[in-house]
Amino acid sequence: MIAEILLVSFIGGLLSLDVSAWGQIMVSRPIISGPIIGLLLGDLKTGLIIGVLLELIWINVISVGAAIPPNATIVAVTCLALIILTERTLPVGNNFQGSYRMVVLALTMPLGEIFKRIDIKQRKLNARFVHYLDREIIKGNLKAVERVNYFSLFLFFLKGLLFSLVAISVGLYILPKLFSYLPFAILVGLNFAYRLLPALGLAIAFNTFRGL
């Protein structure tokens, strides 16, 4: 369990690099990062389903210019890790699998916004690197450009790793307790909500394409 959490956080850190810091080859999109986490935890099917649902929900997320959107990758990673790890503890043949998934989804959704705030903080602090290099280059220390780049990449990675590590650990502590408090009626309602979820994603996708 601990090894799996560490592995998922490590991969989460790498995937969150792809959002903007390195590459942007789109492995950070939920539709790719979902199945990757699913594969790591031995449940590719769940990874695909949740990945697709999240991709449709965040399909309109565009970072134009200096605007930083909520981070879909961190939501996909933590949400999937929590869903797969908590489903192992549920009794087999549970009728309310969808309801529990819905709870996890609703609880991890704000993480994208929180991560965005941290991201903005870091990008403000990155200006210090610029001032540092302003001084170093005049001094003639040209190698500093490369070092600052790699160090900043490492910080981006560390941020993703630590964030998903904390989020998954806290979630694993809270969620099983929360599940046992949920009354029957709420579970029925959440199950219905889970079945409606593709319609929510498709409606957002519809608007995205209508607005082009």
Partner 1 sequence: MRNRIINKLDLYRLFWRSFCLQAVWNFERMQNLGFLYILAPVLNKLYPEREKRIQSYGRHLEFFNTHPYFANVLVGIVARMEEEMAKGGEVKPEEISAVKMSMGGAFGGIGDSLFWGAWRPFTALIACVLVIIYSKKWEGAWLAPLIFLFLYNFLHFHTRIQGVMEGYERKTKVVGLLKKMYYLRTIWSSHIIGLALVLLTVLVLMFRDWQAIERLYFLAFFLSIVLLNRWRISSAKLLYLLVGISCVGAYIF
Q: Tell whether residue 10 is a contact of partner 1 (CB under 8 A).
A: no
Distance CA 43, CA 35 (A): 8
Phi-psi region of 175 (alpha: psi -120 to 50; beta: other; left: phi over 0): alpha
> Which two structure tokens, joined as six digits, stand for 100?
């529990």
Binding residues for partner 1, rule CB under 8 A, total 81
Alpha helices in the chain (DSSP H): 2-17, 30-40, 44-57, 72-87, 97-139, 144-181, 184-210
Q: Select the span of 7-15, 86-94, 172-180, 192-200 touching partner 1 (CB under 8 A).
A: 192-200
Q: By the 8 A CB rule, do 50 and 80 touch?
A: yes
Closest CA to 84 of 72, 101, 99: 101
Q: Tell whether residue 93 is a contact of partner 1 (CB under 8 A).
A: no
Query: Nearer Cβ to partner 1, position 166 or 188?
Result: 188
**Candidate list 90, 158, 170, 188; residue touching partner 1; CB under 8 A:** 188
**Candidate list 6, 153, 166, 174; residue touching partner 1; CB under 8 A:** 153
155-184 residues near partner 1, rule: CB under 8 A: 156
21-60 residues near partner 1, rule: CB under 8 A: 21-27, 29, 31-32, 35, 44-45, 48-49, 51-52, 55-60
133-152 residues near partner 1, rule: CB under 8 A: 133-134, 137-138, 140, 142, 145-146, 148-150, 152
Q: Tell whether residue 76 is a contact of partner 1 (CB under 8 A).
A: no
Distance CA 66, CA 173 (A): 36
